[in-house]
Chains A and B, each alone.
Chain A
Amino acid sequence: MRKNIKITPEGAKDYLFKECAACKQICASVEKIFKMHEFKQVMTPGIEFYDLFTMESCGLDQETMFKSVDNKGRLLVYRPDSTLPIARLVATRLKNKILPARLYYNQSIFVNNKSLSGRSNEIMQMGIELLGATGKRADLEVLTTAVQSLESTTDDFRIELGHSDFFNSLSNQLDISDDEKEKLRLSIESKNYSALNNQLDKLEETPAVNAIRKLPALFGGEEVFDKAADLFKDTKAINALEYLKDIYHELSKLNLKHKLTIDLGLVQRNDYYNGIVFSGYVEGFGDAVISGGRYDSLLDKFNAPMGAAGFAINVNALAKIYLNDKKVDYDETPDVLVFANNGNEMEAIKFTADLREQGKKAQFCVLETIEEAKDYAEKRGIKNIEII
């Protein structure tokens, strides 16, 4: 069999120098914001039991998980998501600690994408989870952290707000099966108006049907609220709209202007989220770079009911844009190369350290002869050679 020793699996890649510097820069900026907001870092295992990620209403597709088995034949997965492990961790290890728990993570997730799609199967993610709190203040804290995190890495972005109750309350008024509801949701999620209309045409024309028909088009600025106000007759939906409006106005105080938008058709993982949902977009990356929301019912599954909200940021995507847009502060050439004559090695190493203390980028030459050292210095563009 041919050995794959010089290539990486599809969707995986090496990160070199500047790429690392860009990722690190993004991580540092975001981490600063997370820490500023008093979130504390946790790390969860890279491999976990499959069962955790296939609980009902978790919105994760089993086909996209990388799987393995442990020595008892139990199914394992390579961390496909960080929120579920953190929910597990809070429900078990932080059970008797003071809530709310403010946690953040900086770790990769693994997604088994469709082959030849050009997507990464390993994604560096950072995110926060605020557990043990519900309500406006908790939502504002999460959203503000998200906005500031994006702001710290890029100038041009959009944060889009939605609420899972619109679709849920409207679809509950329809006399259709769960499968059909999911079909409706998918049509709304993909703004597929024709498919949505086809499905709705089969139903009796009620106010709920009419409202769902318009849901995918209800995105944009503040005008969305007026457009939506007439559509909802259901108390739950009206309350959700009022709440969203309130959150929108509060967040507007961050002076976001056109960067903050509304999308009532934001229905991603709708059986998982149960309140505010949001996504963030950046020029130059074709998908959401940040996504999150409120998921209060998740902790019930661990018998530790509590409010929870959070978000995840795609670090690789932001780093890629950062690399394209800005000059990454990365100068790889040393100022001085220190070459040691035979017997003077330790002195030279000490001298190199002294130079560094003076603020110079100094490298101890590991080549054997002065000719090789000179040749290396010339190729690397190192201006000074010190011979000890």
Chain B
Amino acid sequence: MKPLRIALTKGRLEKDTVELFEKIGYNCEQVHNKGRKLILPVGNGEIEVVLAKAADVITYVENGVCDLGVVGKDTILENGTSFYELLDLGFGKCKFALACKKGYDFYSGYKEKTIATKYPNVTRAFFEEKGMDVRVIKIEGSVELAPLVGLADGIVDIVETGSTLKANNLEVIEWVTDISARLIANIASLKLRKQEIEQLQKKMQEEISKN
């Protein structure tokens, strides 16, 4: 039997997922001692872990080369199209927020507002729902800089503790949505390997609900 292949988002989500796997009894030694390897067996070979960047996790799962994936809701909202979202894993929690310079009255005036963000789709969807026409500028690095140097009126970004915002004299004016890690599945895989996937999902769910 082919191992169930699961793509993990490198970094913190990978760590949290491996921890979860270990709690439900899978041996993850090879992931801990991975070196530069990108495909790693877990347990007794029934699972195979693939390490990838967040958006790539979705690409691999969507194209069916990975059966499952662990990825943040932020990435799903920004890039997601066709796959199943099976489980809220409860870790990797943070929020999308709209922020601007402290004291700036964002919603006043008739001038078209400019928003800087790494997440143009999330931003567009958020303002579309409000019926508000904004100009979106995509920024790759520290988005906080944009309102400070006068490129944008506000930013839409992930906020965890809010300390970066505070340090740069920015404040949250509205929460956009909550974010956490999700277990996603390829559409065909869920049909063809239903039992294996459901078993794993159930084990993960039971472990999560203990907390």
Shortest distance from the beta carbon of B90 to any chain A beta carbon, whole Å = 10
Task: Tell me whether A296 is interfacial, beta carbon within 8 Å.
Answer: no
Task: Tell me whether B210 is interfacial, beta carbon within 8 Å.
Answer: no
Number of A-B contacts (CB under 8 A): 62
A219 to B193, CA, bound (A): 12
Task: Give the residues from 71 to 130 in chain B that come closer than 8 angstroms, CB to CB, to chain A.
Answer: 81-88
The proximity string for B residues 164-194 relative to A, scoring 1 for CB distances below 8 Å and 0 otherwise, is 0000000000000000001001111111101
Whether the pair B85, A283 counts as a contact (CB closer than 8 A) is no
CB < 8 Å neighbour of B87 from A193, A263, A279, A285: A193
Whether the pair A288, B187 counts as a contact (CB closer than 8 A) is yes
Whether the pair B85, A193 counts as a contact (CB closer than 8 A) is yes
Whether the pair A191, B82 counts as a contact (CB closer than 8 A) is no
> Which candidate, B59-67, B131-139, B140-148, B153-161, is the interface stretch facing chain A?
B59-67
A43 to B16, CA, bound (A): 54
Task: Tell me whether A286 is interfacial, beta carbon within 8 Å.
Answer: yes
Task: Give the residues from 219 to 252 in chain A that come closer than 8 angstroms, CB to CB, to chain B.
Answer: 219-220
CB < 8 Å neighbour of A195 from B85, B187, B188: B85
B: interface residue count bin: 20 to 34
Task: Tell me whether A129 is interfacial, beta carbon within 8 Å.
Answer: no
Kindly list 4 other residue pairs between chains A and B, CB separation below 8 angstroms, not including A190-B82, A286-B64, A286-B188.
A191-B86, A193-B88, A279-B191, A286-B63
What residues on B are CB-neighbors of A281 within 8 Å?
Answer: 187-188, 191-192
Task: Tell me whether A160 is interfacial, beta carbon within 8 Å.
Answer: yes
Whether the pair A287, B182 counts as a contact (CB closer than 8 A) is no
What residues on B are CB-neighbors of A282 within 8 Å?
Answer: 188
> 9 tightest A-B contacts by CB?
A286-B64, A192-B85, A191-B84, A194-B88, A281-B188, A281-B191, A158-B191, A286-B186, A286-B188
Whether the pair A190, B83 counts as a contact (CB closer than 8 A) is yes
Shortest distance from the beta carbon of A202 to any chain B beta carbon, whole Å = 15
A114 to B62, CA, bound (A): 13
CB-based nearest A residue for B62? A286
What residues on A are CB-neighbors of B83 within 8 Å?
Answer: 190
CB-based nearest B residue for A157? B192
CB-based nearest B residue for A289? B188
Q: Given A114-B81, A193-B85, A286-B62, are A261 and B188 neighbors across the interface (CB < 8 Å)?
A: no
CB-based nearest A residue for B190? A191
Whether the pair A287, B84 counts as a contact (CB closer than 8 A) is no
User: Interface on A for B, CB 8 Å cutoff?
Assistant: 114, 117-118, 156, 158, 160, 190-195, 219-220, 261, 263, 279, 281-288
A286 to B188, CA, bound (A): 5
Identify the interface centre among B182, B190, B191, B192: most chain A CB within 10 Å of its CB: B191
A281 to B85, CA, bound (A): 18
What residues on A are CB-neighbors of B61 within 8 Å?
Answer: 286
A287 to B83, CA, bound (A): 9
Between-chain CB contacts (< 8 Å), 11 pairs: A117-B81, A118-B59, A156-B192, A160-B191, A193-B86, A193-B87, A194-B182, A283-B188, A286-B186, A287-B188, A288-B187
CB-based nearest A residue for B88? A194
A355 to B84, CA, bound (A): 58
CB < 8 Å neighbour of B194 from A114, A194, A195, A219: A219
Shortest distance from the beta carbon of B93 to any chain A beta carbon, whole Å = 13
CB < 8 Å neighbour of A190 from B59, B85, B189, B192: B85
What residues on A are CB-neighbors of B65 within 8 Å?
Answer: 286
A160 to B187, CA, bound (A): 12
A377 to B199, CA, bound (A): 58
Shortest distance from the beta carbon of B180 to any chain A beta carbon, whole Å = 8
Identify the interface centre among B59, B84, B188, B192: most chain A CB within 10 Å of its CB: B188
Whether the pair A285, B86 counts as a contact (CB closer than 8 A) is no
CB < 8 Å neighbour of A118 from B63, B87, B88: B63
CB-based nearest A residue for B63? A286
A286 to B64, CA, bound (A): 4
CB-based nearest B residue for A196? B85
Whether the pair A220, B188 counts as a contact (CB closer than 8 A) is no
Shortest distance from the beta carbon of B88 to any chain A beta carbon, whole Å = 4
A383 to B185, CA, bound (A): 52
Whether the pair B64, A287 counts as a contact (CB closer than 8 A) is yes
Whether the pair B84, A190 counts as a contact (CB closer than 8 A) is yes
A263 to B192, CA, bound (A): 13
What residues on A are CB-neighbors of B192 within 8 Å?
Answer: 156, 158, 281, 283
What residues on B are CB-neighbors of A288 within 8 Å?
Answer: 187-188
What residues on A are CB-neighbors of B182 within 8 Å?
Answer: 194
Shortest distance from the beta carbon of B56 to any chain A beta carbon, whole Å = 12
What residues on B are CB-neighbors of A284 within 8 Å?
Answer: 64
Shortest distance from the beta carbon of A65 to any chain B beta carbon, whole Å = 17
CB-based nearest B residue for A217? B198
Q: Given A118-B63, A219-B194, A220-B194, are A191 and B85 neighbors across the interface (CB < 8 Å)?
A: yes
A282 to B186, CA, bound (A): 12
Whether the pair B85, A194 counts as a contact (CB closer than 8 A) is yes
Shortest distance from the beta carbon of B52 to any chain A beta carbon, whole Å = 15
A101 to B190, CA, bound (A): 36
CB-based nearest A residue for B79? A114
A37 to B78, CA, bound (A): 45
What residues on B are CB-neighbors of A286 within 8 Å?
Answer: 61-65, 186-189
A285 to B86, CA, bound (A): 20
CB-based nearest A residue for B205? A193
What residues on A are CB-neighbors of B82 within 8 Å?
Answer: 190, 287
